[in-house]
Chains A and B, each alone.
Chain A
């Protein structure tokens, strides 16, 4: 039985569908920025996306090549481990399924790497079958650098630290290797509906 906070009667300012808000989260209208360092700014002509590591043959796409791949615009809810959720966000990008079709691998784990030296680890299952995207437009406009532009990973069913900003590559690994936050005490998987915030959750 948790202690009652005397005099606390807080309520969200706005009615939201509770079935869309994971435990411990609150809904924001704005779009907070959480990043561990300066915002990197890589010119598009120097930008590329690589899939390497435990694959038969590494594959690289330039910015123009990525933009030629079939893209989709979709609307989803996003959830940050720092407690805010943003409902009904609209993104445009390329499904990771499209990119993964181009490489052969038997590895089940992957590390996403980024400009700014950020990394995060995922399983192949969590990025397959329409669950993950390389997103480059937000609300119909090019993604702002502070939100991860030119392109970020988007894995909306997991806490947003898995949706790595400024993505530049995906390395398949034979074993699961904790990424930047995962090695710093955050949960290895990060399912907001199971409130997997920290390592022992």
Chain B
């Protein structure tokens, strides 16, 4: 973002800058773990020594949204929790991607009941849907590799400055 996005034409200099930036972006995807329920434990297992997620560049799982670019929503999202998830998604800076991990986030999963949102794509834009209940940690690593492929196909001019979404302002009295 920033300077390279302002250069609109596809000259040779910009394509090299493009390639450099998307290479560095895809190899250091820092996930924001939204570990809500059982899929959260498989996400922790993906960070554990056997299925090491750090070797793919996701060295740390920062719990603050301001420093992350990938949000992994792992676990059942209820109506009460959906406002919290959306608030955290809004706090993440651009560019950002979302993985919907597991059956519960993709479509409500095995919970067809009054309090579970039947799929988080009702209020969040999702990039990758992972199947499984819970998906194995190697499946999560597969999804991470596909996100990296998706990043490698983006260009700098995709991230032009966009107007900010409406955020509520908190008064400090």
Q: Do A and B bind each other?
A: no
